[in-house]
Amino acid sequence: MLLCPVIGKLQHKRVVLASSSPRRREILSNAGLRFEVVPSRFKEKLHKASFATPQAYAVETAKQKALEVADRMYQKDLRAPDVVIGADTIVAVGGLILEKPVDKQDAYRMLSRLSGKEHSVFTGVAIVHCCTKDGQLDTEVSEFYEETTVKFSELSEEMLWEYIDSGEPMDKAGGYGIQALGGMLVEYVRGDFLNVVGFPLNRFCKELAHLYHGPRAHGAPRQVQHDSIPAVDTFEDLSDAEGGGSDPARANEGLEPCGAQPQAPRPREADLNGVTDSQPPLPVGLLELMDGFKASKALLTACKLQVFDVLKERGPLAAADVAREIGASVGGTARLLDVCAALGLLDKSDRGYSNTEMASLHLASDGEQSLHGLAAYHDGPVWGAFTHLGWAVREGAAWTPEPLPQAPHKWSTEATLQFMRASHGLSKLTAQHVATAFDLSPFTSACHLGGCTGALAHKLVQEYPRLQVTIFALPEVIKLAGDFETNARPSERVHFVPGDLSSDSLPPADLYIVCSLLHDWPDDRLHGLLSRVSGCCKPGAGLLLAELAPAEEEDASGAARRPPGLRALGVGRPPRNPGQYQRLLQRLGFQDVQAACAAGLLHVVLGTRAPP
């Protein structure tokens, strides 16, 4: 409630957060601020040695991020947002700036340096007010930083690598996330906890109070402040919508950013108890949900028309050139390209349109980690099935086509290939993370049940030189598997064995692996399959499960951040969490059951039978 008057001041303004950080978005959303998210494309390559202090570097980076977004939005629409917020969080120890680690070894170096010591977390924030003067973008920048001191416990090698292998350090400044697993490394925090998470909300509120109100006149009444939180009446003078008091002198104390005069205060209506009657907030999130399918369809259509392939090979290109390459109208192509640019999939410049790094890597069909097959699967059978969702709900039918392992007799060769392309893209993307979530070196033989094209199997034999992997898959899948690239040399330690999961005997192995299948299975089939696997496991054998992380857990821990549509790829059932799988495996006789989050996308669970 403390922020309501500040939000009232901003509610008629277009506010943009120039950051893709889900943590910053969550902090500001929880405070009641309504804003758009436009991630900055500013390349964070400022020369650190040229700055006198780490905080100066963080503030300058935040400012450049915000200015880049303001300028890009103005160039695109000839109209800039009213306010752009930029932020940059760094960790500093002994004058050395630590940003996000580039790989596991870099994360190890960072965390080793922090072990047992105090360090500072700085977040630089820039609030850029935009307006148009003489046909040009004009900006005024307010900037500040917040410092929080954090002390790490002494960290053992085992704890360091266990945390690094969880995948959490890789997108965090300093290599840790205090709001999730990284909180276990912290002995104490002195200062603003949210600053360590990624945004200093308390200081931000004070800056807004200063910007939109300015200093009080001498002798003006003032409420007593407690701790460091601004007093409520400080904020009550800020809102145009909710009034700024009856004193006309005070009403004109400050100017709006960019020189605009404050709006005249409107009267406030109060009930009998003197409580302000405020309007409910607009359901922005609900409106975004209703409109979100359009963005998905634009992405899927661009993939289908090979837009990202054309631009990867020949970009930047003008809309007319892209239209000619894909055999479409110029006007329709230009609209599609503009939408993709607005979604952050393409870059638009005077030279034309070009792929972002993400688009070339994941959306072009020949990308090393291409998800083009997954896009085609969603655009085809999944989209078609969801078009008839009302019928499926009324009839109690599955929301999407039954997965291939459950209903192979219903799939044509082309449909089987489409499913395999989708599975192959997702497997290549996640194979490294699944293979290294736990140390699997004690096992010498593994059986990947429903292993499809073998992407994970080849990654496993790369990581573990003693391991032999058998892929147990349907005969029709094995026949087509040779057409897929696995980014690995063919290995004599990878074998395909034909069979049906629901009826055929399972090949013997020390370790059984089930990945990205179980979210589509009803409870009875899941228990049946895992019971069969359990019956094949000798003492010392293991069972490795990897599934998409439930969206509900993302909000609670901040560790898994993925699009909501991935929470139920198949049938719309509530996703299972690691605790459910742990309890199930324990009931099946696996005494040692561990769970890990891999790359913020997957939950990986390993159960091991007690050795003899």
pLDDT confidence of residue 265: 45
pLDDT confidence of residue 521: 64
pLDDT confidence of residue 291: 82
Architecture in CATH for domain 7-212: Alpha-Beta Complex (3.90)
What pLDDT, in 10s, does the model give residues 425-451? 888 888 888 998 899 999 999 999 988
pLDDT confidence of residue 595: 84
Q: How many CB atoms lie within 10 A of CB 587?
A: 12
Give me the amino acid identity at 470: T
Write the Ramachandran bin of 599: left for phi over 0, alpha for psi from -120 to 50, otherwise beta: left
Choose the weakest-confidence range: 83-97, 220-234, 535-549: 220-234
| SS3 label, residue 604 | strand
Residue 103 designated active-site: no
Q: How far is CA 525 from CA 196, 518, 519, in A?
A: 44, 9, 11
Residue 374 has pLDDT above 60, yes or no: yes
pLDDT confidence of residue 327: 94
pLDDT confidence of residue 337: 95
Domain-by-domain residue ranges, the chain? 7-212, 306-368, 430-609
pLDDT level of residue 519 (50, 70, 90 thresholds): low
**Residue 504 DSSP code:** S
Nearest alpha carbon to residue 29 among 291, 343, 285:
285
Q: Catalytic: which of 71, 77, 82, 88? A: 88
To which residue do tokens 């007093």 refer? Answer: 231
To which residue do tokens 């070894």 refer? Answer: 105
Pairing of strands 602-608, 542-548: antiparallel
What pLDDT, in 10s, does the model give residues 215-244? 544 444 333 333 333 333 333 333 333 333
What pLDDT, in 10s, does the model give residues 263-319? 444 444 333 344 444 567 778 778 877 888 888 899 999 999 999 999 999 989 999
Architecture in CATH for domain 306-368: Orthogonal Bundle (1.10)
Q: 430-609: what CATH class? A: alpha beta
Q: Is the peptide bond before 316 cis (omega within 30 degrees of 0)?
A: yes
Residue 504 has pLDDT above 90, yes or no: no
What pLDDT, in 10s, does the model give residues 25-77? 999 988 888 889 999 998 877 888 788 899 999 999 999 999 999 998 888 77
pLDDT level of residue 168 (50, 70, 90 thresholds): confident
What pLDDT, in 10s, does the model give residues 315-334? 899 999 999 999 999 999 99
Q: What is the DSSP string of 222-266?
A: -PPP-TTSPPHHHHHTS-STT---S-HHHHTSSPPGGGPPPPPPP
pLDDT confidence of residue 557: 38
In sequence order, which ranges of 31-169 are alpha helices (DSSP H)?
54-77, 104-114, 157-165
